[in-house]
């Protein structure tokens, strides 16, 4: 049994895989069209596990998101020097960090030279830590899943200003952007979802992108659960934490439903809840779409 919630989150900062990926073996999608495939969506990184391209998705009117413009990721506090060079080679010019102040203090980002860094903190995950500790100690009957369901509601109800600023930055600045949180799945997942919706990608494809976290991080999730079990001296049932480490469709669907219930549709949420006008959306699409 854990005595401190921080022990759980220490697992995210454990030493990464010792095997390093040579820079020459990493795909540059804009330099070689053969890399513009689903197989190469997940970016090979030494120090992160959920860094990926958002290029290639089709919109409902037949256009395609440009490769090399939008990237989503987990935390960048453990990336190697080769990782840094890779992010530079990908042409990324801006990194947006959705983590709370506490998360950033515990795991400061490593920002490659020449890339600007923008902080847009969403603290909902920080408030969740004490709740998870209570679950592990058996002090609450609530499941971890319910915490992430609540968090996804809050993205719409409490953090619309953050996501408005995020979209505004994509519209107003000509900078290929990587955005991330700690695990790259909840706060960054919702940012990816509303961006794809604004660009005209179908809800089905947006949900499919959201769910890719489970496949891309499966090995890492098993590693983390094993470490937690070991650190608790095998006294904790680590399986109750699995919904925290991955994603479930109900999470993003809850965010969507919250937006739809209040604004009538996701498009109305973007327009009225995030104050992104039709003209803004057209600028976004002109910038990020082709075909």
In this structure, what CATH number is given to the domain that contains residue 80? 3.90.190.10
Report pLDDT for 78.
Answer: 96
Report pLDDT for 4.
Answer: 43
Quote the number of domains for the chain: 1
Report pLDDT for 130.
Answer: 62
Nearest Cα residue to 28 out of 101, 103, 114, 91: 91
Give the Cα separation of 150 and 279 in Å (integer).
32
Query: Do 245 and 11 meet the contact criterion of CB atoms below 8 Å apart?
Result: no
Report pLDDT for 19.
Answer: 61
- Helix, coil or strand: residue 19: coil
Phi (first) and psi of residue 86, to 5 degrees:
-65, -45
Report pLDDT for 136.
Answer: 66
Low-confidence residues in the chain, pLDDT < 50: 1-18
Report pLDDT for 146.
Answer: 87
Query: Do 127 and 238 meet the contact criterion of CB atoms below 8 Å apart?
Result: no
- Domain range holding 97? 5-290
Phi (first) and psi of residue 153, to 5 degrees:
-65, -40
Question: What are the start-end ranges of the E strands in the chain?
Answer: 52-53, 64-65, 70-73, 94-97, 116-119, 177-180, 289-290
Report pLDDT for 233.
Answer: 65
Give the Cα separation of 47 and 80 in Å (integer).
6
Report pLDDT for 7.
Answer: 42
């Amino acid at each position: 049994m854990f005595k401190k919630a921080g022990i759980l989150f220490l697992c995210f900062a454990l030493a990464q895989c010792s095997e390093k990926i040579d820079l020459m073996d990493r795909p540059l999608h804009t330099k070689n069209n053969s890399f513009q495939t689903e197989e190469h969506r997940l970016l090979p990184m030494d120090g992160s596990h959920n860094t990926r391209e958002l290029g290639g998705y089709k919109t409902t009117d037949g256009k395609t998101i440009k490769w090399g413009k939008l990237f989503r990721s987990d935390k960048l506090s453990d990336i190697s020097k080769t990782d840094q060079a890779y992010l530079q080679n990908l042409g990324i010019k801006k990194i947006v960090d959705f983590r709370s102040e506490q998360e950033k203090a515990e795991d400061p980002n490593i920002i490659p030279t020449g890339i600007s860094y923008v902080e847009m903190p969403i603290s909902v995950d920080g408030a969740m830590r004490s709740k998870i500790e209570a679950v592990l100690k058996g002090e609450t009957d609530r499941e971890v899943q319910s915490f992430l369901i609540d968090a996804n509601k809050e993205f719409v109800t409490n953090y619309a200003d953050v996501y408005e600023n995020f979209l505004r930055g994509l519209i107003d600045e000509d900078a290929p952007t990587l955005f991330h949180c700690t695990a790259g799945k909840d706060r960054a997942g919702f940012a990816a979802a509303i961006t794809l919706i604004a660009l005209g990608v179908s809800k089905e494809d947006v949900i499919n992108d959201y769910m890719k976290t489970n496949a891309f991080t499966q090995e890492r999730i098993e590693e983390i659960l094993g470490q937690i079990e070991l650190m608790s001296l095998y006294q904790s049932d680590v399986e109750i934490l699995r919904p925290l480490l991955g994603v479930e469709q109900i999470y993003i669907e809850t965010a969507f439903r919250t937006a739809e219930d209040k604004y009538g549709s996701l498009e109305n949420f973007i327009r009225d809840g995030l104050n992104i006008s039709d003209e803004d959306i057209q600028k976004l699409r002109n910038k990020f779409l082709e075909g």
